[in-house]
Structures are given as structure tokens and as C-alpha cells.
Amino acid sequence: RSFYRPIVSTSMEQQNKSYWAAVETQIDSHLKKSITIRPPTSVFEPMHHLTFSASKSTAPPLCIAACELVGGSPDDAVTAASAIHLMHAAAFTHQHLPLTDGPMQVGSTVEHVMKPNIELLTPDGMVPFGFELLGLSEQAQNNSDRILRVIIEISRAVGSQGIVDGMYQELVYAKGEGEDEQMVEYVCEKKEGELHACAGACGAILGGGSEEEIEKLRKYGLYVGMIQGMVNGVGKKLGSRLEIANKWRGLAIKELEAFHGRNVHQISSLLEMD
């Protein structure tokens, strides 16, 4: 099932649907080609499984769309998009890992096909594998500065000041009482916002965007990711939920104004989802 599920369905939405389906297919093919099941199969079989069974994130397709918006080809961003998916899938698996004090994701209902030790170790292999893909990519040869920048961007987004902080604060929040708007906003920003911000920035970097374009697509990605955080359940008991999401949607659209005249409808359709 695709991540793209528009609220209404006009011919424009149909076009966007085809666009995102093509982007997803490209990322999936790249990942399938990279993660062949080879020895040690005890390691590559679970990696294959966890890569493709994790929830789909909008961050990898956003990376490719950002690259195209600044004039790059999807091929320039497909390795980064694949690496971002690997990081997302690794974090997703660890968040549902059965620890002796319960999983990080309170109320997790994910079905565990593999043993806990495999679900611990496999993501530990997926994260460096993502960095290896970037290091071995064609752009690493021709454009090593861009790839190094992408490596730094991804490191930050998935590390202690990004997803890791978001997952930890979500747990703290879930175990506490009441609904604090500020806390919900923080978790949305850290857990999904920064990965999407990174995806937007990386796409723009790899597509050869200007510094201004990179920063605009970073902020656009941030709001898209924060909305996704809410769509995926953060702050679901918050009364002002829809209001906040609408505020973020407005801020996101504002970041795209500078791209007036270009093919903005594709990337902006990420804001029109359920």
C-alpha cells in the first residue's frame, strides 16, 4: 500500500498518484538490488525482511521530489532516499523491540516474525549499510563534497538530536499524564520532522540546489514530517490536533512559494493526504 492516499481524487491527484508510485518503485528497486539475500543469510534474510516490512515513510520519496524540484534527476537522489528508508526502518524496528521493560513504542502491536536478538542486531547492520551505500554511490566519486554533506545530514537526523531524542521523549510523554501541546510538537519535530527535513535538504543538495533552496526544502520537509508524526498517532488525544496540523500545512506551503513557476504540485501533494 502506497504512502500516498489523497483526500480527494481529481485528475491532478491521479497524476500525483502515478508520480509517487513511480518514485516508490524506484526506491524499492534500488533497495532490492542493494540488499540481495547472500551469505551470511542469517544476517541478510532478516535485513531484507525488516527493510520491506517496516512502515513506509514519506521521507524517502520527499528526498527524490526535492531533488527534482531544484532541477536534478531522480537518479541523483535515489541512494540517499534508500539510505533514509534504511534508517527509518531500523529505528522503527528498535522502537518495537521487546525489552524486559516493554517496547519503546507504548502499546505496540507490531507482529514479531523474528526473535528479539535478531530484531536488535539487524537494524545495527542496516544503519551502517545505509552509510556504506552512500560512500559507494556514483556521486561519491564525482561529487564527494555533496555526499559528505548528505552523510552529515543523515547522521544528525537519525541520531541523538533527531529520531533517538524523539523516540525517547515520546516514551516519556506516553508514560506521563495529560496532553501537552508543546510536548506533542517537540516529539513530532524530532521523531519524524527532522528526518523529513533532512530528506528535503539532501534532495536539494544532490540536485544541485542553491543554499536558499536547500533551506526552504529543509523547512518544507520539517512541516511535512511533523504532520506525518500526527497522522501516525503522536498526540492523538490532543483536542487542538487538526488546528495545529493546519497551521503546519500553511507554514509548509509558504516555503514552496519561492519555487513558483516550477512543478510544485507534485511535492506539495504530500500535504493533501489523509
Cell of 82: 534508500
Residue from 71, 128, 176, 233 touching a copy of itself (CB under 8 A): that is 128
Contact region with a copy of itself (CB under 8 A), list: 73-81, 160-168, 210-218, 238-246 = 160-168
**Measured distance CA(23)–CA(19) in Å, rounded:** 6
Residue from 22, 37, 136, 174 touching a copy of itself (CB under 8 A): that is 136
In 3D space, the residue among 167, 162, 274, 150 whose CA is nearest the CA of residue 222 turns out to be: 162
Q: What would the x/- binding string for a copy of itself be over residues 10 to 49, using CB under 8 A?
A: ------------------------------x-xxx--x--
> Residue 21: which region, alpha, beta or left (left: phi > 0; alpha: psi -120 to 50)?
alpha
- For cell 542486531, what's the residue? 121
Residue from 114, 164, 251, 271 touching a copy of itself (CB under 8 A): that is 164
Residue from 64, 78, 154, 183 touching a copy of itself (CB under 8 A): that is 154
Identify the DSSP state of 55.
P
Residue from 160, 232, 240, 246 touching a copy of itself (CB under 8 A): that is 160
Q: Of 45-74, which residues contact a copy of itself (CB under 8 A)?
A: 47
Q: Which amino acid is at 171?
A: L
In 3D space, the residue among 239, 90, 94, 248 whose CA is nearest the CA of residue 168 turns out to be: 94
Residue-by-residue DSSP string for 166-201: HHHHHHHHHHSSS--HHHHHHHHIIIIIHHHHHHHH
Alpha-carbon Rg for the chain in angstroms = 18
Minimum CB–partner distance for residue 20 and a copy of itself (Å): 27
Q: Is the Cβ–Cβ distance between 85 and 57 less than 8 Å?
A: yes
Q: Of 81-110, which residues contact a copy of itself (CB under 8 A)?
A: 90-91, 94, 97-101, 104
Residues forming the site for a copy of itself (CB under 8 A): 40, 42-44, 47, 90-91, 94, 97-101, 104, 115-118, 120-129, 131-132, 134-136, 140, 144-145, 147-149, 151-152, 154-156, 158-161, 163-165, 167-169, 171-172
